[in-house]
Structure 1
Amino acid sequence: MRKTERYRVTSNNSLWQIYKTVPFLKVCKNFIFIQIGRYTPSLAVKSWLYKTFLRMEIGKHTALALMVMPDVMFPEKIHIGKNSIIGYNTTILAHEYLIDEYRLGDVRIGDEVMVGANCTILPGVTIGDGAVISAATLVHEDVPAGSFVGGNPMRVIYTKEEMEQRQLQQK
């Protein structure tokens, strides 16, 4: 189960009440810096922009590829460890707006994690150190450290132990 906080809403669906949950000017500022970052070819500048203006936690030598889309409303809930790679066009969400509620949850991505291109990471998910996420995966639950996961729905392809065994066989 993902770790999210749930907030019930009444009357209209929760997205219609968005600016009761997050200030309009915050969303505008975040949108501008995310769009600059998405197209910035310099990994160092992109990390600096996101850490400085969006209050994201991004570890040293972590690379967010071209077109990565951090959560525009709650980027401060995204925490990425050191020496990780977030692949092209991946979306990292810290919120979900549903009909009668919205949910918020921190996303925690460990050290030396590899996230393939075109993935979507949902709020409240923790990805353990050394995990590998296959391209086009919907990460809807926690990923154990060192494992290789993929698909939609996501499933474990190799556990940490199986990955270590494969690496030994390749040497």
Structure 2
Amino acid sequence: MRKTKRFPVTQSNSLWQIYKTVPLLKVCRNFIVIQLGRYSPSLKLKNWLYRTFLKMEIDEQTALALMVMPDVMFPEKISIGKNSIVGYNTTILAHEYLIEEYRLGDVIIGDEVMIGANSTILPGVTIGDGAIVSAATLVHEDVPKGAFVGGNPMRIIYTKEEREQKMSSERLELKGGGEDVT
């Protein structure tokens, strides 16, 4: 289960009540900053914009590719560790507006994480250090450290131990050089 806090609403669905939950001016400012960042070819500028104006925690050497879409309403709930990569057109959500409630949850992306293009990360999810998320994955639950995950819905393809074993055997094959053809 994702770690989100639930807020019930009355009357119409929660999206119709959006500006009771987040100020309109905050959303407008965030939208402008995010659009500048999404199209910026400079990783340093993008990280500075997001740290300074959105209060996102983005560590050193972290790269958000072109068109990455951080949460426009609650970007301050997003934390990305050092030397991580978030692939092209990935969406990182810290909120969900539903019919009878809305939910908020911190998104924590660890150090040296690789997130493939066109993925969606839902609120309340933690992605452990060294994890790899395959392209076009719906991250709907926590990802263990070092795991390789993918799909919609997401599933574990390799655990950290299985991934290390596979990489070790591939390195041995490369060193062995294959068969002698003389």
Please provide the CA RMSD for this pair: 0.3
| Residue 136 in structure 1 maps to residue 136 in structure 2 | yes
CA distance in 2, matches of 1:160, 1:150: 14
Alignment match, 1:127: 127
Note the C-alpha offset of 1:170: 1.5
Alignment match, 2:7: 7
CA distance in 2, matches of 1:83, 1:2: 25
1:62-101 counterparts in 2 under 5 A? 62-101=62-101
CA distance in 1, matches of 2:2, 2:68: 22
Length-normalised TM-score, structure 2? 0.94
CA distance in 2, matches of 1:155, 1:98: 25
Q: Which amino acid aligns with 1:163?
A: R
The structure with the largest alpha-carbon Rg is: 2
Report the count of equivalent residues. 171
Note the C-alpha offset of 1:38: 0.1
**Could you tell me the percent identity over the aligned residues?**
79
Q: Deviations over 1:126-155 (max 9, x none)?
A: 000000000000000000000000000100
Q: Unaligned stretches of 5+ in structure 2?
A: 172-182
CA distance in 1, matches of 2:166, 2:58: 30
Length-normalised TM-score, structure 1? 1.00
Q: Which runs of 4+ in 1 moved over 6 A?
A: none
Note the C-alpha offset of 1:167: 1.1
Q: Unaligned stretches of 5+ in structure 1?
A: none
Q: Which amino acid aligns with 1:134?
A: S
Note the C-alpha offset of 1:71: 0.1
Alignment match, 1:48: 48
CA distance in 2, matches of 1:9, 1:75: 22
Q: Which amino acid aligns with 2:118?
A: N
Secondary structure of 1:118's aligned partner: coil
Q: Deviations over 1:29-81 (max 9, x none)?
A: 00000000000000010000000000000010000000000000000000000
Alignment match, 2:160: 160
